[in-house]
Amino acid sequence: MSPADPPAAPSGLTPAMLLALGLAGFCAFLNVYVTQPLLPLFREVFGISSARAALTVSAPTLAVALASPFVGLLGDRAGRRRLIVLSLFLLSVPTLLAATAPSIDALIAWRFAQGLAVPGIYAVGIAYISEASGGSGMARGMAALVTGNVLGGFTGRAISGLVGERLGWRAVFVTLAILTFSGACATLRFLPKQPPRRAPGSAAPRGALRRLRRQLVTPRLVATYAVGFNVLFSQVAIFTYVTFHLAAPPFRLGAAALSSIFVVYLVGAVVTPFAGRWIDRVGARRALGAVLAAAVAGGALTLLPALWAVTLGLALCCTAVFVAQSASTAFLQSAAAPEARSTAAGVYVSSYYLGGAAGGIVPALAWHLGGWPACVGLVALVQLGTIALAFRFWGGPAVAEGRTAPVAA
């Protein structure tokens, strides 16, 4: 690739661009949660505790949270398309090397390295969509990226279980490395080149740090970061603690049946692309309020002692999260100044994954005090608070392409 990307393709997101963005999102999240079905196998092969094996899941998540703000800064100074493609190629390297890990510590290290590459795809991808869409159809672009995330997360888990059971855990990482490298080649081919957007004074680190500080203290953006935190908090809390609920009476589901609950993610994969147009029409604030209200109702459904009700409730919860993620990231890009959108996206992604980490830990107290109903109540309070936060801070004008423009709400 040349030192500077050539002139941009015409404004607007074409079908080929949407496909490439979805593919990039797919490859990124193909790898993040892939070891979840392999944890019992790691415990047996390496002779370690369950908590130690679980570090192979938390390591890439932590790396995403730590690296996202800095990758955002880099994306503001360099070509965004270039960084997305480079990150995809880099992601395939530690994925392949993970297959050679001689110990659990080495595997955790390679998993952390995988996570470091993800923000260059996802966080910078958010800013790329804003730049390439020319201000129109941004939610459709985000829906394509998020749909790729959803399908990638589901496919990674499915490949892990199928390949790992038949060929061993090392074959899982070899398979994923091949798929990730192939996805990088396809993204290089189909994603149009965009010019780097450099803010005045961004050549100096001091200027970049000033932009980052402004993003952190702008109430509209801080509220959006909090929304992202709460969205993944809710998702992780629900899908972590519902397994304990379903393993207990009256359901008594085994491990294989519990792993099948992730099939409800496919409902979100179907709904989210259509939701992009709806978000563009009704506005991010109203869309977020509507889907999180549906998530509260879904949580209430899981309290019924019937498996069909729990399944329907989980489908509502996860679909609401995917649509809410599309709405909040679309709003983020209209609210952030054009020269600092990658920075804002990086901070958002970091907040989002910190919320996921908290979602696995904080509800433990609720579970201890009141079991599944207490967990559902906690998540409902977080979701209702998120709606209030959006309606308080997401109104009024927002920055769009260097001018003040109204935000649909």
CA atoms within 13 A on the CB side of 40: 7
Structure tokens at 323: 């649509």
Amino acid 97: pLDDT: 95
Structure tokens at 347: 């901070």
Amino acid 352: pLDDT: 86
Per residue in 21-32, pLDDT tens? Answer: 888 889 888 888
Amino acid 21: pLDDT: 84
Amino acid 397: pLDDT: 45
Distance between CA atoms of 86 and 8, rounded to whole angstroms? 18
Amino acid 289: pLDDT: 92
- The helix (run of H) or strand (run of E) holding residue 244 is helix 219-247
pTM beyond cutoff 0.75: no
Per residue in 365-407, pLDDT tens? Answer: 888 899 899 999 999 999 999 999 989 888 754 433 333 232 2
Amino acid 230: pLDDT: 92
Question: Which of 101, 110, 89, 109 lies closest to 27 in space, CA to CA?
Answer: 89
> Would you say 141 and 18 are in contact if contact means Cβ atoms under 8 Å apart?
yes
Question: Which of 116, 88, 386 lies closest to 225 in space, CA to CA?
Answer: 386
Domains of the chain: 15-194 (1.20.1250.20), 212-395 (1.20.1250.20)
Helix-strand-coil split of the chain, %, nearest 5: 80, 0, 15
Note the residue count of the chain. Answer: 409
Amino acid 110: pLDDT: 95
Amino acid 164: pLDDT: 81
The answer for residues whose C-beta is within 8 angstroms of residue 54's C-beta and 6 or more apart is 39
Amino acid 120: pLDDT: 86
Tens of pLDDT along the chain (409 residues) come to 433 343 443 446 677 778 888 888 898 888 887 877 776 678 778 988 756 777 787 788 888 888 877 776 676 566 778 888 899 999 999 999 999 999 999 999 999 999 999 888 877 787 777 777 655 566 677 777 877 887 888 888 778 877 887 788 899 999 999 999 998 998 888 887 654 444 444 444 555 566 556 656 688 888 899 999 999 889 878 877 787 788 778 888 765 566 677 788 788 777 777 777 788 788 888 999 999 999 999 999 999 999 999 999 999 998 898 889 888 877 886 777 766 666 777 778 788 888 877 777 788 788 889 989 999 999 999 999 999 998 988 875 443 333 323 223 3
